[in-house]
């Protein structure tokens, strides 16, 4: 078996090549696009998948492209396997607020690579490809096989997972480099829902004409825009200053044609599983709008109702009556991530990450509150995922982590969901180090280059430990 120092040296020797390959992957906008014949999740994800498979082929690895939705990378063409590794090539929308670089232009700064997908999940996926390369180039034959899956729809509808389940059986063990180190053995459940309302348009002045905010239900929005009619900049100035101080979100005004004024809220985006680390522009905008001296209307009443359920800074669902926590998985989180209003309809979409203790009964208060306020409620729920710490998979991964980092390994629970969420023996392993916020789903997403390379070495070591060498 390759020694730890040999693996580290191997990956260090390919640093420049790794950077070049990652730069090509990051340059592809692989946000989910419109479905069309031959491209079920759009052309961007398919292009990124093809590039990743091209890289793997260059190393002499076996690859298959399953309908531009899911790809596989293996050491050989064997169907039998003991271990599945899941990564993905699609990304969330670029969003606004990028400062270090453009979203799809990778930039290396102080040892960190910036760009959409560097951490989630193209960088980790490339590290896994290089791990298979390392094993192949060292001429090591595995006793049992490993297969790397490269998905194209992890951030949206998980059409790739449906294909996986239709075309193959799960391996005995699985891990995904789409979480955190040391090992994530608990992933919270989720409650993703929409609160909607329809009402007659009321043009009495002053009024709120429209609100637009958010692009993805699992991304906390960094900006929101509203159009107001019948108020002046002077009318709004003091309210904007007060709400900005309360929410830590900046507001700006723009004079539009006629008697219209545009309002922009600039906060800080982030991953919906960590709302406390962001400054939600949607909830800040709601807090501002309900303070405005506008004419009473059914539309304004519904905006007030939505704000009462999702007040700014309430990260744990207390106002909605669903606050809960347990010892293993921690607190529930709640974030309003999409907000649209046009004077006739209102839509607010939220993302909640729910602990192990969540159930239909203790989550029902948010539905009851919405209906009491005249808002239609629809939601989809997923149970939490838990793999015990004493399994061979978890113990092996922790051993590899300790060997390559020198830190004590332990299991953690996260709010984010991954490909392995519904796999009995699936955990996430990397690639964010403990205490590091890689700004996944937010502007200036980044990954530490040395961490990515060390991750590749850890993946190779874990594969060898779990699959064994053939005598």
d(CA 7, CA 452): 13
Rounded Cα distance between 278 and 6, Å, is 41
Structure tokens at 95: 């969003």
Residue 257 DSSP class:
S
Cβ(446)–Cβ(111) below 8 Å: no
Residue 128 tokens read as: 């896994």
Whether 34 is catalytic is no
Closest by Cα among 208, 60, 33 to 129: 60
Q: In this structure, are residues 281 and 263 in contact, taking their beta carbons and an 8 Å threshold?
A: no
Of 154, 155, 180, 351, catalytic: 154
Q: How far is CA 300 from CA 167, 203, 239, 261, 347, in A?
A: 50, 11, 17, 17, 13
Query: What's the CA gap between 104 and 97, in Å, rounded?
Result: 14
Let me know the angle formed at the C-alpha of 373 by 214 and 209, rounded to the nearest 5 degrees: 45
Q: Give the integer Cα–Cα distance in Å for 98 and 30.
A: 17
What b-and-e string marks burial along 395-416, b requiring 16 or more CB atoms within 10 Å of the CB?
ebbbebbeebbeeebebbbbbb
| DSSP H stretches of helix in 97-173 | 122-137, 159-167
Query: In the numeric block, which tokens belong to residue 453?
Result: 């390379």
Neighbours of 12 (CB within 10 A): 13
- In angstroms, how far is CA 359 from the centroid of its own chain? 23
Residue 154 bears catalytic tag: yes
Backbone angles phi, psi at 107, to 5 degrees: -140, 135
CB 278 within 8 A of CB 268: yes
List 21, 29, 84, 90, catalytic entry = 90
For residue 401, which of 373, 380, 429, 441 has the smallest C-alpha distance? 429
Encoding tokens for residue 90?
Answer: 């699609």
Phi (first) and psi of residue 89, to 5 degrees: -105, -15
CB atoms within 10 A of CB 331: 18
Cβ-based neighbours of 471, under 8 Å, separated by 6 or more: 143
Give the active site residues.
90, 154
């Amino acid at each position: 078996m390759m020694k730890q120092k040999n693996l580290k040296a191997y990956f260090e020797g390919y640093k420049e090549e790794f950077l070049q390959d990652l730069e090509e992957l990051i340059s592809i906008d692989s946000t989910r696009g419109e479905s069309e014949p031959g491209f079920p999740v759009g052309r961007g994800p398919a292009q990124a998948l093809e590039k990743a498979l091209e890289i793997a082929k260059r190393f002499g690895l076996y690859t298959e492209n399953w309908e531009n939705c899911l790809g596989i990378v293996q050491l050989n063409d064997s169907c039998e396997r003991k271990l599945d590794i899941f990564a993905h090539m699609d990304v969330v929308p670029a969003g606004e607020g990028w400062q270090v670089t453009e979203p799809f232009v990778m930039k290396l700064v102080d040892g960190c690579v910036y760009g959409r997908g560097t951490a989630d999940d193209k960088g980790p996926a490339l590290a896994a490809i290089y791990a298979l390369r390392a094993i192949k180039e060292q001429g090591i034959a595995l006793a049992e096989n490993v297969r790397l899956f490269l998905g194209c729809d992890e951030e949206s509808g998980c059409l790739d997972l449906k294909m996986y389940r239709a075309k193959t059986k799960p391996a005995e063990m699985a891990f995904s480099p789409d979480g955190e180190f040391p090992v994530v053995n608990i992933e919270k459940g989720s409650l993703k829902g929409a609160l909607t309302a329809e009402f007659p348009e009321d043009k009495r002045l002053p009024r709120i004409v429209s609100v637009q905010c958010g692009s993805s239900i699992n991304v906390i929005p960094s900006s929101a825009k509203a159009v107001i009619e019948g108020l002046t900049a002077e009318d709004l100035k003091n309210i904007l200053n007060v709400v900005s101080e309360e929410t830590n979100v900046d507001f700006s005004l723009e004079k539009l044609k006629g008697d219209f004024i545009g309002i922009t809220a600039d906060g800080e985006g982030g991953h919906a599983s960590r709302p406390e680390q962001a400054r939600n522009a949607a909830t800040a905008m709601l807090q501002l709008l309900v303070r405005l001296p506008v004419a009473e209307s059914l539309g304004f009443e519904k905006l007030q109702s939505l704000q009462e359920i999702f007040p700014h800074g309430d990260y744990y669902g207390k106002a909605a009556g669903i606050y809960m926590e347990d010892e293993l998985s921690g607190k529930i989180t709640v974030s309003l991530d999409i907000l649209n209003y046009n004077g006739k309809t209102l839509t607010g979409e939220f993302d909640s990450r729910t602990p192990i203790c969540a159930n239909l009964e203790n989550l029902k208060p948010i539905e009851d509150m919405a209906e009491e306020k005249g808002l239609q409620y629809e939601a989809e729920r997923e149970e939490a995922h838990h793999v015990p710490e004493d399994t061979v998979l978890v113990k092996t991964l922790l051993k590899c982590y300790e060997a390559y980092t020198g830190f004590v390994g332990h299991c953690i629970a996260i709010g984010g969901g991954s490909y392995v969420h519904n796999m009995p023996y699936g955990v996430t392993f990397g690639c964010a180090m403990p205490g590091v916020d890689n700004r996944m789903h937010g502007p200036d997403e980044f990954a530490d280059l040395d961490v990515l390379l060390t991750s590749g070495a850890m993946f190779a070591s874990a594969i060898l430990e779990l699959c064994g060498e053939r005598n």
